[in-house]
Amino acid sequence: MKGAPGPANEIPEAGVAYLDGAFVPFADAKVSIATHALQYGTGVFEGIRAYWNAPAEQLYVFRLREHFERMTRSCRIVRIGLPGDADELSAIVLELLRRNAFTSDVYIRPLAYKAARVVKVALHGLRDGFGIYAFPMGGYLSTGGLAAHTTSWRRISDEAIPARAKVSGAYINTALAVDEAAEHGAEEAIFLTSGGHVSEGGGSNLFMVRDGALITPPVTDDILEGITRQTIEDLARELGYAFVQRPIDRTELFIADELFFCGTGAQVAPCVKVDGRPVGSGTIGPIAKAIGDRYFAIARGDDASHPEWRTAVYAR
């Protein structure tokens, strides 16, 4: 939303957060410097968006339950316990948003982590913590056409750190790649797998358009199993576009008709330049625009389709 702070701004400790079973002032939601997750990255997180619809005076959380279903799967992989099921955690988010009385687009961050103050590098038997905070946020990546750079850093393999789990420590891989991309004048990185296939963006899934068909890497190419990625698949088929999951070679990016990134943070972000080469005509393509327009209209509630994807925050 115009006027909402971007992702690079420091988050103000304003309003209310949720920590270990209680709603507390955001400024009081603290953990110890000795917390295991801070030392070793032993945490799991989610990113959830809520969209403000001004004419309806309503805040809609997008695909809320699906995010906690994925978080449950991530926690299972790294042996972190959650304090409730997807419905119970969703209810906490709604109460948190109401207590903060947001009237703008909002980003919501649940975090489950190893809270024990111990030096031992392990997972089993360590105390777990859980918190949620939320804050106004606009765009994460540009939706007006961005440049991307294929990073020299390879995507972490499922055999090392599973990308399908949103493990906090794994994001050093993203930080290194995005930093390198910025040094090349690009706004987003593109990872390759250890085998040389295209994996995903620094913090987003990737779609390519060739000959009218949407193509995206399979989940076995070390990608996050994205909720927005699944949404795009559903919308593409509804709009009549062919949809294919298959390995993608790096050079295919140079001859693609269109490229775009997607994710809760990225939303739908068209890519108009990759590795210094224009993508297609060098402008936002018609398929990315059609999908992006439909995505935003549904998420914000301007399009009544898929009401099951939206959770209203306020009683109206």
Q: Which residues are catalytic?
A: 166
Question: For residue 72, which amino acid is it?
Answer: T
Helices (H), the chain: 36-40, 64-78, 86-100, 171-183, 227-238, 250-255, 286-300
Local structure of 288: helix, strand or coil: helix
| DSSP designation for 197 | B
CA dist 73 and 306 (Å) reads 24
Provide the strand spans (E) within 68-175.
106-114, 128-136, 146-150
Angle at CA 74, nearest 5°, toward 71 and 79? 115
Please answer whether residues 187 and 202 qualify as being in contact, where contact means their C-beta atoms are separated by less than 8 angstroms. no
Q: Which residues pair with 24 in a beta bridge?
A: 17
